[in-house]
Amino acid sequence: MGEEAKVEVLPEEFDPKGIQGPIGPESNGVEVVLGRNVHKMCLSIQEPETDEEVTGEREAYMASVLARYRKSLVERTQHHLGYPLNLDFDYGALVQLQHFSINNLGDPFIESNYGVHSREFEVGVLDWFARLWELEKNEYWGYITNCGTEGNLHGILVGREVFPDGILYASMESHYSVFKAARMYRMECVQINTLVSGEIDCADFLEKLLLNKEKPAIVNVNIGTTVKGAVDDLDRVIKTLEEAGYKDRFYIHCDGALFGLMMPFVKQAPKVTFKKPIDSVSVSGHKFVGCPMPCGVQITRLKHINDFSRNVEYLASRDATIMGSRNGHGPIFLWYTLNRKGYKGFQKEVQKCLRNAHYLKDRLREAKISAMLNELSSTVVFERPKDEGFIRRWQLACQGNIAHVVVMPNVSIKKLDNFLKELVQERANWYQDEKIQSPCVAADIGKENCICVVHKN
């Protein structure tokens, strides 16, 4: 070495446990209830011993934690119904890649000197989606995001850069990330009412557009809302904008989180296509496709990004993505599944999901349980189960008096039957006392779908 390093590192005898407070098992599971920092569950980090025998014990401890965790994941995956995630995947062939730090730094179309990336897979996936949404290869730009939220954040940001004084319009049942974006970006935001189905109410939209005619419109269109799976009528949204005289002073972002990938396979669904005057579409990759970690796809018109990037370059930023470092494994998972299943594979799975969703809704109604299923959706909305333990067990997402099951490709008739059987049995207990009634959900899903004591048919 020849020369001593000039920087002195901390001495060997430095005691990390001495810094502050206890470390180790005693801090496990301690509940600190203050504000939002609630330590209900915590696997704390324990400083390894230098003694090799103890190191062996440590390895055994860690292996046992992981084994228990794996077991709980199996159980939780089995009883999962409420979130739109396809848990049915097998990426065994890709396990070999976990040894690499794959990072698609910045723009997928700009080469970086960092060589451990998966841009060639990413661009293949993006091409597939651009074709799905009918945007020419040389007219689109996009990237694989960390999740649906990043897609919304990006689409709305591009909209704001195109129309700096534009007002963001979004229906009340839009995903909360849309309103988060408005706040982050300091945009004026106008909420639009929804119909009982969860769709945007275009009459209200027209009224609100007419109130703000001096400013351009940036519109979030839901291709499947989070709670009810409602699909906003894109054609009517466009017609409403034209009626209100916005001509080309609007930017449309389609939040296709879940259904953006299912709808192209449903014949009478309003088509999401760049042949219509839309500007960006985002979709989640981990939902319908299925992926070990969240990811998403964001596609927009190249011309917007060229404008956007000129501004960004001025600030010495190198790319037009939201995140700089990007997970390079996501694109490979998507590439793998798209290649294996293809259009036809997805088509079959969509068909299955829609059939099973109808099956679930019909069985619920037969059991006199209030339920609704939107025409283009596989999200079955129904009366919220009375017992929180039951909700947690089946991992149902709830809002007020309603809950939902999102029927994904891994949700089989058998799984639904198990769920129905348990629900019907438990429900008999919850409501055995006649004084306790099941909730009225007419306000949430319409009188015609409610079977409460007042509305029962």
Q: Cα–Cα distances in Å, from 432 out to 17, 91, 209, 428?
A: 56, 47, 50, 6
By CB under 8 A, residue 34 contacts a second copy: yes
Give residue 314's Cα distance to chain centre: 32
Separation CA 382–CA 369 (nearest Å) = 7
Amino acid at 21: G
Q: Does 452 bind a second copy (CB under 8 A)?
A: no
Among the listed residues 118, 284, 370, 377, the single catalytic one is 377
Q: Does 228 bind a second copy (CB under 8 A)?
A: no
* Tokens (6 digits) for 43: 């696997």
Residues binding a second copy: what is the number (CB under 8 A)? Answer: 169
Interaction of residue 284 with a second copy, rule CB under 8 A: yes
Give the whole-angstrom CA distance, residue 317 versus residue 322: 11
Q: Which is nearer to a second copy, 358 or 452 (CB)?
A: 358
Site string for a second copy, 135-174 (x = CB under 8 A): -xxxxxx----xxxxx--x---x-----------------
Question: Taking the complex as a whole, how short is the minimal distance between the CB of residue 323 and a second copy, in angstroms?
Answer: 5
Q: Which of 54, 64, 100, 456 binds a second copy (CB under 8 A)?
A: 100
Of 155, 166, 229, 294, the residue at the interface with a second copy (CB under 8 A) is 294
Q: Measured from the CB atom, is 244 or 261 closer to a second copy? A: 261
Sole window of 27-35, 196-204, 216-224, 436-444 interacting with a second copy (rule: CB under 8 A): 27-35
Tell me which stretch binds a second copy (CB under 8 A): 114-122, 234-242, 423-431, 434-442: 114-122
Min separation Cβ 245 and a second copy, Å: 28
State the Cα torsion 253-177-306-262 to the nearest 10°: -50
State the minimum distance, in angstroms, from the CB of residue 422 to a second copy. Answer: 16
Q: Is residue 43 close enough to count as binding a second copy by CB under 8 A? A: yes
Has 112 been annotated as catalytic? no
Question: CA separation (Å) from 354 to 1, 176, 360?
Answer: 68, 26, 10
Nearer to a second copy, 326 or 427 (CB): 326
Q: Does 323 bind a second copy (CB under 8 A)?
A: yes
Given the structure tokens 């945009």, which residue do they identify? 187
91 is a contact residue toward a second copy (CB under 8 A): yes
Q: Which residue type is seen at 184? A: M
Place of tokens 């020369």: 3
Instruction: Report d(CA 21, CA 359) in Å as an integer.
Output: 55
Name the residue with tokens 């005693």: 26
User: Stretches 127-135, 200-208, 209-217, 233-241: which one binds a second copy (CB under 8 A)?
Assistant: 127-135
Instruction: Write out the binding residues for a second copy, residues 235-274 only, by CB under 8 A.
Output: 264-269
Question: Taking the complex as a whole, how short is the minimal distance between the CB of residue 313 and a second copy, in angstroms?
Answer: 10
Q: Which of 190, 196, 206, 312 binds a second copy (CB under 8 A)?
A: 312
Which residues in 380-409 contact a second copy (CB under 8 A)? 391-392, 395-398
- Which of residues 179, 207, 249, 439 is near a second copy by CB under 8 A? 179
Nearer to a second copy, 244 or 290 (CB): 290
Which of the stretches 248-256, 299-307, 423-431, 441-449 binds a second copy when contact is defined by CB under 8 A? 299-307
CB of 375 to a second copy, least distance (A): 6
- At 58, is the secondary structure helix, strand, or coil? helix
DSSP type of residue 136: -
Kindly tell me which residue out of 194, 220, 282, 309 binds a second copy, with binding defined by CB under 8 A: 309
Taking the complex as a whole, the smallest distance from the CB of residue 126 to a second copy amounts, in Å, to 9
Can residue 418 be called a binding residue for a second copy (CB under 8 A)?
Answer: no
429 lines the binding site for a second copy (CB under 8 A): no
* Residue 234 near residue 325 (C-beta atoms within 8 A): no
Q: Which of 53, 113, 432, 434 is in the footprint of a second copy by CB under 8 A?
A: 113
Q: Is 190 in the site for a second copy (CB under 8 A)?
A: no
Dist CA 156 CA 168 (whole Å):
8
Give CA–CA dist 41/38, Å, rounded: 8
Are 179 and 170 within 8 A, CB to CB?
yes
Nearest to 208 by CA among 189, 232, 235, 190: 190
Contact 110, 319 (CB under 8 A): yes
Shorter beta-carbon distance to a second copy: residue 153 or 254: 153
- Cα 298 to chain centroid distance, Å, stands at 13
Angle of helix 302-314 relative to helix 148-162, nearest 10 degrees?
80
CB of 194 to a second copy, least distance (A): 13
Count the alpha carbons within 13 Å of 298 in the hemisphere toward its beta carbon: 27
CA-based end-to-end distance of the chain:
87
DSSP letters, 350-377, are HHHHHHHHHHHHHHHHHTT--EEE-TT-
Residue 320 as a binder of a second copy (CB under 8 A): the answer is yes
Residues belonging to the active site: 377
